[in-house]
Every structure is written in C-alpha cells, then in structure tokens.
A and B are shown apart, each in its own frame.
Chain A
C-alpha cells in the first residue's frame, strides 16, 4: 500500500513581466494521505487544489518542503495514477487503442490490458463504444474513458481532479459506484477534488479543506460534524402571548408576524442546547408552542462558514 506524506510544502507562482512578484498559493502545508481511504480535497476556486495535486504528481515543483512516497522522496509513479481535470484525449484514436496506449505505457501485457479494459468499460457502460473513434464520444464518455485508463494498471493510489465533471447524473452514479468498489475490493487509496459537496458526503471518508493557502481541516466527515457544535439552528414559533415583552427581554425575537389573523412570535436562532432550555422554560410557564423549526447545516456551512477565502 502506498502512503503519501506532505511536509511543509510551499508553492508560489511568479507574476508580472519577469515574474518577480510572487503569489503564494500554498504555504507550509503538511498532511498524510491515509492508506486505503477515500479522501476528498475541497476548497473554493483558486484555493490551490490542482496545484497541490500537480505537486504530488511532480508535474510542477515546490519552492520549499518535501513529499514522501512510502517514506522516500522518489515518486512511486508505478503505483500511482492521475486523472487531470477534463483531459483532452487523442481524438483520432479509438477508445480501445487509447486504453492500449495507456496500458502499454504502464508496461501491461496485451491480455491484461484487454481484460481489464473490458471489465472497467462494462462497469462504466462503455464497452460498445470502445471500437469507435474518441472524437465521436460525448464529453461524459470521454471522461469515463479517461477514468478507465486511470484504473487500468490497478494502481495503489489514484488522484482524481474533478472526476465527475462533464458527467450526467447516471454517469456520476456509476463512476461513484466504481470508485467505491475499487476502494473496497482493491484497497486503492483515492484522493479526489470536487466542488460538489454531495460527492464528498457520498464518497469520502476523509476531508481535506484548503483555504487561504493552508489546510483548514483534515479529518473524517464525522469529526468535522462533531467539531462544529452548531450543526443545526432552531427557531421556535409561539402563539399570541400577553407577556411577550418579558420573553423578549429574556430571549431574542427574530421576527414578529401575523398568521391567520393572530400574532405569532418567532424566537431564535438557537443552538440545540439553547433551544432545549427555551422549550423547558415555555413548558414551565405553560406557553403554547406552535412550531419548532430546525434548519440543518449543510456540509457547505460546515466547510465554508465565512464563505471561504476567494482569490
């Protein structure tokens, strides 16, 4: 199994005519990609997700810091595979030929390439299109073909940059099923970027949040939810109550409105604990409650409470 350890990585890009002005994209970041786990890399546009992936794949080089592949600085590319975001494949090759090309580059023999291609193509519903030229493929089909090529050599670790882009809902589903299956059966470590947080919730076991050049969070999804105590917010709607002013002094009133001719009072927002305390008070005072509203925090709220640092 392959473990990638990133240590104090810093990367900047030159700006201006002679690139003297440096723009720091990643600053002193460290983390370990856990073996056999599915880790999602999330962050707003320009957070440095693709830069980080390119650094791991040694497509570009860091200013400072080191990356270790199973403890060594020599990249273990034989055991890794990378799917760039929306790659343009060789349009004049057939799907089968493209897979053969990628397989041969990975030193696979003809039989293995054929069997593995067919196995993956069946799972991604592409087996009938393999004899067609890639230029006749739709964007989703091209993306699925690129995904097949990524898993061809049974890599120990796969890095996928926006693997679901260009896919329709059915395509997303079958790709997710494939990723889950490969992670479980072949114990492949998966590291993917996405902007769709539903993908993270459905697929990821670990989340790595990049924001403002740094890692803001790295851990399990459950840890993220536990860490954020204000997971849900509550509002309590009361029927007309004569001593509303007292209540108003004790608790906040977010709005006052009339429904069906009566005055109703909406109290909140409360955390779970605050809500329980408020309800207990209302029960003791025998105040009638019309409704308790719960607004669940989405993963987006948890990950980007202030909207993320945009560049």
Chain B
C-alpha cells in the first residue's frame, strides 16, 4: 500500500498539481486584498469570507474530480489490472490511492489555509482556534465528497457520478435549512420524510464554521465534538461501502 501512496503522489507531483494550488493561493490573495481594500474597517472579515469561501469550493471541486477519476481512469486505461494482480487484496489499491489523494487535499488545505491566515493576520488577526476548526470542517467536507464520488464511480459512469456528487454537495448544504423550515411549518409526514433523507444524506451544515470565524461567535456546547464524531463516522461508513463494493466489483 505504501508504494501505491508514494507512486500516486509522485505521478501527481510530475503532473504539477501543486502549481494549481499555488496559483489558487495567489488568486485568493489577490481577490482578498482587493476586497478588503474596498471595504471600510472590516478588511479582515472580507479576507476571511472570500478566502474560506474560495478554499471550500476549491477543496470540494478537487475532491469530486479526484474521486471521479481515481478508479475510473485506471480502469479505463487498464492500469488497474497491472496493479491489482500484485496487491494482496483489492482494498490495498483502493486505500493506497485514497490516502494519496487525501494527502494531496491536506497539502492544498495547508498551503491555502496559510495564505488566508497570513492575509487575515495582516488585516488585523482572528481567533486562531476557530479558524483551525473551520479548516478541519472543510477537510471533513471534502473527504466525504471524495469518498462519495469514488463510491458513485463504482456504480455509475464518470459523468453521472460527477453530476450526482455535485448534487450531493449542494443538497447536503441546504437540507438543514429545509428541515428547520419544515419543522416549523410542515406536516408530520414531511418532517419524517426529510429526517429520513437526513439519516443517509451527508449534513454539511455541521462543518460550515465560517460564520463563527467571521463574527467570532461562541460555538454551542458539544457542537465540535458532535460535528467531528459525525464526520468520522460518516467517512468510515463511506470507506467501508467503497471497500466492500470494490472487492466484489466486476472490473470490466
């Protein structure tokens, strides 16, 4: 599995994927500085708002792309066959690839997170603990999307998987507000249905800590532990699904 991680990263390094990260860091810095220069006394908030927003979209976009191409490309090009005959279990390949892509996502988060941190510090600083929690939230979000995309490619074509993954992300963000509204005004059946959907659909609202960072709000009690426990369990659930399906998949 170590070799799969190493050579996947080497391949990505040779593809100069990191250039994209640096380019995006530069883009975030440029847009944030421009935005904060146009604002009055809230430069730090504007920087964080734009920075974290762009970072989230970039991470999720990359996670969907990596997820959709990870197994699909190797299968289409038959490279998968050459690797699978050599590993002890099929899951070694899947886990090795997944770890490599998670490391790459983490590298992106680290670089772009540092860019935003320095920009915000230059504009007046922020609560570092909340900022770090926010970054962790973004990482969970993109990990869930990565795992969901890989799972989808084990059932559907790459194009369909891409479209469903985008839907999962946006619906996952809006489900919480929909539930709040329906709980107040909807019928019992509607609430029951939506809660049922919520049970399987990822709740990305839990990982969105941007508002707390921007306004330095106090996090509700147990919010973090609940969010991260949920994130870990959900990732583990998706990973298990992915491994079980991949072990039995007809790879033709």
Contacts and interface: CB of A to CB of B under 8 A. Distances in A.
Interface of A: 51, 54, 57, 59-61, 77, 80-90, 92-93, 97, 101-102, 104-106, 133, 146, 149
B44 to A, nearest CB: 40
For the complex of A and B, 8 pairs with smallest distance between CB atoms:
A88-B77, A92-B14, A105-B86, A104-B3, A84-B78, A60-B250, A101-B7, A87-B78
A87 B3 contact: no
Contact of B81 (A59, A97, A106): A59
B196 to A, nearest CB: 25
18 contacts: A57-B85, A60-B251, A61-B250, A81-B85, A84-B81, A84-B82, A85-B78, A87-B79, A92-B15, A93-B7, A93-B10, A93-B14, A97-B10, A102-B86, A105-B87, A133-B14, A146-B82, A149-B82
A133 to B, nearest CB: 7
A149 B77 CA distance: 16
Nearest to B4: A105
The SS class assigned to the B binding surface is helix
A2 to B, nearest CB: 13
A106 B82 CA distance: 11
Given A84-B78, A88-B78, A106 B252 contact: no
A163 B82 CA distance: 14
B167 interface: no
Interface in B51-87: 77-79, 81-87
Interface residues of B, number: 21
A90 B78 contact: no
A117 B3 CA distance: 17
A83 to B, nearest CB: 8
B11 interface: yes
A77 B250 CA distance: 17
Contacts of A149: 82
A82 B3 contact: no
Given A54-B251, A85-B78, A133-B14, 16 more contacts: A54-B252, A59-B81, A59-B84, A61-B248, A83-B82, A84-B78, A84-B82, A87-B82, A88-B79, A89-B79, A90-B11, A92-B11, A92-B14, A97-B10, A104-B3, A105-B87
